[in-house]
Amino acid sequence: QMSPNFATLAKIGSGLTVIVTAPGHEVDFVSRFFEGSIIVPEDPVTGSAHCTLIPYWSERLGKNKLNAYQISKRKGELWCENKEDRVLISGKAITYLKGEINI
C-alpha cells in the first residue's frame, strides 16, 4: 500500500524516475514506476524498468525465471528471464497505436 504524492513528483520534473519494488505473494515481486511528469505520472507497465529489476530480483531470489506484477491502475503481469547479458520479457499486450515514421 502506497500513495505517491504526484504534485511533489511533478515539482521534481521530467527525467527523474522512481521505481518501487517489494516481494510478491503470488508472484516473485511487484513494482510501480513513477516519472516526474504531469502528463503520465505513473507508467502502467514498464518493460525497460524490468530490464534493471530482473537482474536484481534474480540474484536476490536465486532464480533466473521470474514472474513480476506491476501494480499500477491498469496493472500488468510480466514473465521474465535473466539470461547473462540480457533480460527476456513477455506478457499480454494490446495494440495502442499504429503508425509510420519517416526518417
Confirm whether pTM is higher than 0.85.
no
Q: How confident is the model at residue 38 (pLDDT cuts 50, 70, 90)?
A: low
Alpha carbon distance 84, 24 (integer Å):
24
Which residues neighbour 11 within 8 Å (Cβ) at sequence distance 6 or greater?
Answer: 36
pLDDT tens profile 70-92: 998 888 999 999 998 999 999 99
Chain-wide mean pLDDT for the chain?
89
Domains annotated for the chain, with CATH where assigned, are 6-83 (3.10.310.10)
Greater confidence, 27 or 97? 27
Phi/psi at 100 (5° precision): -140, 135
Q: How confident is the model at residue 54 (pLDDT cuts 50, 70, 90)?
A: very high
